[in-house]
Amino acid sequence: MRKNRFAREPEVDPFYDMLFNMLIAFVFCFIIALLAMNPKATKSGDIPAKAEYIITMSWPDMDPNDIDLWVQGPSGESVWFRNREADLMHLDRDDRGTSNNTILINGKKVVNPLRQEVVTIRSIVPGEYVVNANYYDTKDIDPNDPRSGKPVEATLSIIKVNPKAEVVYYGQATLDARGKELTMARFTVTSNGGVDNINTIPKSLMSAY
């Protein structure tokens, strides 16, 4: 029999309408929640604002010697391996050369070749900062390594993080013997977060401790 094209379709149960609408609302809420949990990716070149300045000192990979980073803030307090926090500065790692760059995992020795110490300045505190390197005299150095106790070239970078990464200083200096302390950089942070008066005029930080 031919279907009457004017005939009415059977009525739909209102309960199914309600279920369908609830399903749509649930899907919509799920999409909103998903977007909230996955914010827009950070633009290329931007760094999350976890620090205002990053001071990094490094020396040659696999070098057995222990070079220490010292940073003095505007109050006259310094961060170093025995005082890791001062003036909203923080020493993130005390790299002791061969001594703390080797671990055993399942009986296998794993070596980290990187030699690096990092100090972060967490807020803008106006005033002068002094950055020194110290060739630490330690008995933990491998005496069989021909580089032990020999001159070490250290590299220093100072990066202003916000509003975007900017290298405000990059330089190198040679520490020629154990016990040597060397001023690698001095700089002044202004009230608006800028960096001024960069120099390498010597100033001892170790003498105060």
208 by Cβ neighbours in 10 Å (0-12 / 13-18 / 19+) ranks as: exposed
Together in a domain, 67 and 28: no
Alpha-carbon gap, residue 128 to 76, rounded angstroms: 9
Structure confidence by residue, pLDDT tens digits, 145-158:
888 889 999 999 99
Q: Which two tokens stand for residue 119?
A: 């100090």
**Strand pairing of 127-135 and 115-121?**
unpaired
101 with 32: CB under 8 angstroms? no
Say yes or no: 105 and 160 in one domain: yes
Q: What is the pLDDT of residues 162-196, one digit of tens each?
A: 888 999 999 999 999 999 999 999 999 999 999 99
CA distance 61 to 98: 10
- Its domain, for residue 143, covers 53-208
189 and 95 together in one domain: yes
pLDDT in tens, 94-124: 877 656 656 667 777 666 668 899 999 999 9
Q: What is residue 95's predicted lDDT score, i.e. its pLDDT? A: 79
The CA R_g of the chain, rounded to the nearest whole Å, is 30
124/183 same-domain check? yes
Identify whether 1 is part of a domain: no
Do 94 and 33 share a structural domain?
no
Domain count, the chain: 2
Strand pairing partners for 102?
111
Q: Are residues 100 and 157 in the same domain?
A: yes
Verify that 16 and 85 share a domain, yes or no: no
Which pLDDT score is estimated for 18?
54
CATH (domain of 184): 2.60.60
- The residue type of 171 is G
Q: Give the H or E element holding residue 88.
A: none
**Residue 104 near residue 97 (C-beta atoms within 8 A):** no
Q: Among the listed ranges 4-13, 23-32, 46-55, 102-111, which one has the minimum average pLDDT value? A: 4-13
- Residue for token pair 């070149």: 45
On the question of pLDDT at 3 being above 80, the answer is no
Task: Assign 128 to helix, strand or coil.
Answer: strand
What is the tally of helices (H) and strands (E) in the chain? 1, 13
Tally of CB atoms within 10 A around 159: 18
